[in-house]
């Protein structure tokens, strides 16, 4: 048996250790860490519930725990994070739950019973969450997890894939200042947020922002002026003070050739990859919204944003069918990381809840900076 409870600041070191020891698979395995404090990275876009699981011995069931073989006294089994976010669904602003931060101690992986226990606890720990619809993102290369969750096994929620999301890491070296973006003034945030939300409604799970929420992120907002208001909005959001993408290991042959590759990358203006154990020096291009009048200028807008970016890398997410994706791939030679976006239904809520309808065909494009 395991004991599940809401995590507290006293669990900070345990939570950070679980994040470090559970990298996401790929040609480079990446761990999404929260250093030096897990809770310093909480609540920047929505309310969070962090649930931590321990071996049953942690609550005085020592003999039973030994018989089940679950673990030793006090050992952390795993964790997950649920976040209530203001997002768009079928063009309507609504509260949506995001299921993320699922990390399992390597000693307890591949135990379906533990997964079922964890999923069954979500409605209990998030009883105050107003979300009727939930979603999550799973690395495209994590085929084992995707097959398991798409199988419709009894005791697990229903996962429905929508589409792939491509996270692009763009090298600042390919930036060029065009003077298109200007820094937004505090008094402009209300109009900028309104414009952003109008444009973002074209995508599923895109963020809904207001001036209070925008300022709370700590991101720096920029805009482009149009004839009757803004024609484009973006924010540069550097989260490295509390959230990092740390490289853990590279596949062959890159792991042996990393110094040679990085020498080439500097000359070719590509991403210089961090050595294992180091974080990617990145800023998110977040809350990007562009009117139809500016869409043809998108590559120039990205060049201009790169020139403003304070770090070596600028990351943004586009759905796999986006008209901008191919031009960005060809022009900026980014490093790309693919994830699948899923709806998660604990009780077939997508089909049967009166306030939530099935997806209407809009592509899913959540903000990668808040995943």
In sequence order, what DSSP letters do the residues of 4-73 get, joined into one string? Answer: EEE--GGGHHHHHHHHHT-PBPSSEEEEEE--S-TGGGSSTTSEEEEEEEEEGGGGT-HHHHHHHT--ST
The helix/strand/coil state of 343 is strand
pLDDT of 139 above 50: yes
* Co-location of 236 and 325 in the same domain: yes
State the total domains in the chain. Answer: 2
Residue with token string 């009883």: 127
- Nearest-angstrom CA–CA distance, 335 and 318: 13
* Co-location of 69 and 156 in the same domain: yes
* Co-location of 186 and 317 in the same domain: yes
pLDDT 10s digits, 209-218: 999 999 999 9
Within a domain: 78: yes
Task: Enumerate the H helices of the chain as residue ranges.
Answer: 12-20, 62-68, 112-125, 143-150, 189-200, 211-217, 254-268, 298-308, 325-332, 349-352
pLDDT, position 61: 39
pLDDT, position 356: 61
Which phi and psi angles does 307 have, rounded to 5°? -65, -30
What is the residue range of 326's domain?
170-242+272-337
* Co-location of 82 and 196 in the same domain: no
Percent of the chain with pLDDT over 70: 93
* Co-location of 344 and 323 in the same domain: no
Within a domain: 357: yes
* Co-location of 211 and 316 in the same domain: yes
Q: Sheet harboring 92-104: ordered strands across?
A: 2-6, 47-55, 76-89, 92-104, 133-139, 335-345, 158-171, 313-319, 282-290, 229-237, 220-226, 182-183
pLDDT of 54 above 50: yes
Question: Of 205, 121, 219, 122, which Cα lies nearest the Cα of 163?
Answer: 205
Within a domain: 267: no
- Nearest-angstrom CA–CA distance, 146 and 138: 7
* Co-location of 78 and 175 in the same domain: no
User: Model pTM?
Assistant: 0.91
pLDDT 10s digits, 159-212: 999 999 999 999 999 999 999 999 999 899 999 999 999 999 999 999 999 999
β-partners of residue 105 are: none
User: What confidence category does residue 348 fall into, taking pLDDT thresholds of 50, 70 and 90?
Assistant: low
Segment among 9-18, 78-87, 274-283, 344-353 with least mean pLDDT: 344-353
* Co-location of 227 and 133 in the same domain: no
Rounded to an integer, the average pLDDT of 22-42 is: 92
Within a domain: 333: yes
* Co-location of 89 and 13 in the same domain: yes
* Co-location of 158 and 223 in the same domain: no
Which phi and psi angles does 315 have, rounded to 5°? -115, 140
Within a domain: 260: no
* Co-location of 25 and 100 in the same domain: yes
pLDDT, position 82: 97
pLDDT of 266 above 60: yes
pLDDT of 66 above 90: no
- Nearest-angstrom CA–CA distance, 301 and 222: 11
pLDDT, position 369: 98
- Nearest-angstrom CA–CA distance, 340 and 318: 12
Question: Of 82, 194, 86, which Cα lies nearest the Cα of 127?
Answer: 82
C-alpha R_g of the chain: 21
* CATH code, domain with 195: 3.40.630.30
Within a domain: 193: yes
* Co-location of 280 and 212 in the same domain: yes
pLDDT of 354 above 50: no
Rounded to an integer, the average pLDDT of 235-244 is: 97
pLDDT of 304 above 60: yes
User: What confidence category does residue 74 fall into, taking pLDDT thresholds of 50, 70 and 90?
Assistant: confident
The whole-chain average pLDDT of the chain stands at 91
């Amino acid at each position: 048996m395991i004991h599940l409870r809401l995590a507290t600041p006293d669990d900070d070191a345990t939570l950070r250790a679980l994040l470090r020891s559970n990298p996401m698979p790929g040609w480079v395995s990446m761990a999404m860490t929260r250093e030096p404090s897990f809770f310093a990275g909480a609540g920047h876009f929505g309310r969070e519930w962090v649930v931590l699981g321990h071996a049953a011995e942690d609550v005085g069931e020592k003999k039973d725990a030994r018989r089940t073989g679950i673990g030793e006294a006090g050992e952390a089994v795993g964790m997950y994070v649920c976040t209530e976010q203001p997002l768009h669904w079928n063009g309507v602003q609504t509260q949506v739950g995001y299921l993320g931060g699922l990390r399992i101690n390597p000693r307890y992986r591949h135990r379906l019973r533990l997964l079922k226990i964890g999923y069954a606890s979500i409605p209990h720990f998030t009883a105050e969450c107003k979300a009727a619809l939930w979603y999550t993102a799973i690395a495209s290369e994590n085929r084992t997890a995707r097959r398991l969750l798409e199988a419709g096994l009894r005791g697990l929620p229903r996962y429905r894939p929508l589409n792939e999301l491509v996270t692009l890491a763009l090298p600042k070296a390919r930036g060029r200042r065009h003077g298109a973006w200007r820094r937004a003034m505090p008094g402009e945030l209300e109009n900028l947020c309104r414009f952003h939300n109008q444009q973002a409604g074209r995508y599923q799970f895109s963020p809904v922002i207001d001036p209070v929420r925008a300022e709370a992120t700590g991101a720096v907002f920029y805009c482009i002026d149009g004839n009757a208001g803004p024609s484009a909005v973006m924010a540069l959001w550097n989260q490295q003070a509390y959230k990092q993408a740390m490289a853990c290991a590279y596949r062959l042959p890159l792991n042996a050739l990393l110094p040679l590759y990085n020498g080439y990358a500097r000359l070719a203006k590509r991403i210089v990859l961090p050595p294992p154990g180091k974080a990617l020096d990145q800023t998110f291009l977040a809350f990007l919204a562009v009117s139809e009048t500016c869409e043809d200028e998108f590559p120039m807008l990205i060049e201009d944003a790169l020139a403003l970016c304070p770090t070596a890398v600028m990351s943004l997410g586009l759905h796999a069918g986006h008209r901008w994706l191919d031009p960005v791939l060809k022009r900026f030679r980014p490093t790309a990381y693919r994830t699948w976006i899923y709806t998660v239904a604990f009780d077939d809520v997508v089909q049967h809840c009166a306030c939530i309808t099935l997806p209407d065909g809009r592509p899913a494009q959540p903000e990668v900076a808040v995943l």
